[in-house]
Amino acid sequence: MTALPPGSTIGILGGGQLGRMLAVAAAQLGYRCHIYAPEQDSVAAEVAAKFTCAPWHDQDALIEFSRDCAVITYEFENVPVAPLARLPQAMLAPGTRALEVAQDRVREKRFIEEVGGRPAPYLPVDHDSELAGAIARVGAPGILKTRRDGYDGKGQWSIKQDHEAQGIRIPQSGCVYEERVRFECEFSVVLVRGRGGEIRFWDSTRNTHEDGILAHTELPAPAIVGSQVEEARALAGKVASALGYVGVLTLEFFATANGPVFNEMAPRVHNSGHWTIEGAVTSQFENHIRAICGLPLGSTERMAERVVMDNLIGEVALDLVGHLSDDRAHVHLYGKSEARAGRKMGHITRVG
């Protein structure tokens, strides 16, 4: 692919904060962005040149949107795949195969096993009658997760004893039951893959979650992460190559006594990579734009020995004066109109 010239329009499927930060990065390189999202209240649209508000399955609207774009990417992994079949597939970066894998947790785990990775022991659960047997075979404690549409701890049930499964109703789309992993810490591998197949990795952060939501990332990560990151990177590179991936891809892992255990993948820019805006030579957002536009990738080198990022969740984000009283804080607010419990409203990064 010839590099897209400045002034070209990048289409972004999804209107949330990741789309917002992608649009800002694109504007810095001279590109225009066109947001497509079903919700009128789009924080990405606020910083983009154009906005189409239409349902995902509105084929006419999607096709008209695509005619305005030189390349199309997405900011979250739950964009329905079927409507995208009508679009020119060469325009999509990454392609739809990454979406198909990431949207089904069982399919995702099987794919990881096929390329040599190791998820936690698991079994699919498609009916209420199968749950007790899955718990008996996999063991308890464990976690029951919906196969589709789960994120930030949603669609999950912690099961400490087998009797706690009584009364749980399996949704029509099915679930997966997996063993609760004993781990020392969680970490992620964030990479970018260019159109020519070049792969670059950012340093892996230690990730801390609260109520299923990422709350804190920090560098340097503990020594156990350093001892396991090469194996995790090797798997992430295989995943990216097998998918023919273009752009930023994230794999999350548990660091255990027996090596890295795969948790889940996100075919997009990722919350645990927000630190790269100030903390790396090239941010995940800029490198995603570079990759999908056929530009040379930027350096992923860390800018300081220590970097920490904290998510601003709920009403705590509204205290802008308080956050800025720390003169080393880089504050990012996403422009969301309503602060509520469990909602990511922004983040703060501190470098050095």
Domain that holds residue 174: 121-179
How far lies 307's CA from each of 55, 133, 152, 312, in Å?
39, 45, 23, 16
**CB-based contacts of 133, cutoff 8 Å, min separation 6:** none
Per-residue pLDDT 10s for the chain (352 aa) are 789 999 999 999 999 999 999 999 999 999 999 999 999 999 999 999 999 999 999 999 999 999 999 999 999 999 999 999 999 999 999 999 999 999 999 999 999 999 999 999 999 999 998 998 999 999 999 999 999 876 655 678 888 876 666 778 899 889 999 999 999 999 999 999 999 999 999 999 999 999 889 999 999 999 999 999 999 999 999 999 999 999 999 999 999 999 999 999 999 999 999 999 999 999 999 999 999 999 999 999 999 999 999 999 998 888 899 999 999 999 999 999 889 888 999 999 999 9
Kindly state whether residue 14 falls inside one of the protein's structural domains. yes
Shared domain for 15 and 53, answered yes or no, is: yes
Both 198 and 164 in a single domain? no
SS3 state of residue 247: strand
Q: Per the domain annotation, does 325 fall within a domain?
A: yes
Predicted local distance difference test score (pLDDT) of residue 158: 87
CATH number of the structural domain spanning residue 147: 3.30.1490.20
Q: By C-alpha distance, which of 64, 71, 75 is closest to 294?
A: 71
Q: Are residues 140 and 20 in the same domain?
A: no
pLDDT at position 151 is 62
Report the distance separating Cα 28 and Cα 161, nearest Å: 52
* Same structural domain, 16 and 127: no
Residues 80 and 175 in one domain: no
Q: Are residue 156 and residue 191 in the same domain, yes or no?
A: no
User: Which pLDDT belongs to residue 154?
Assistant: 66
The alpha carbon of 233 is separated from its chain's Cα centroid by a whole number of angstroms, namely 16
65 shares a domain with 204: no
Per-residue pLDDT at 74: 97
Query: Residue 320 is inside which H or E element, if any?
Result: helix 320-324
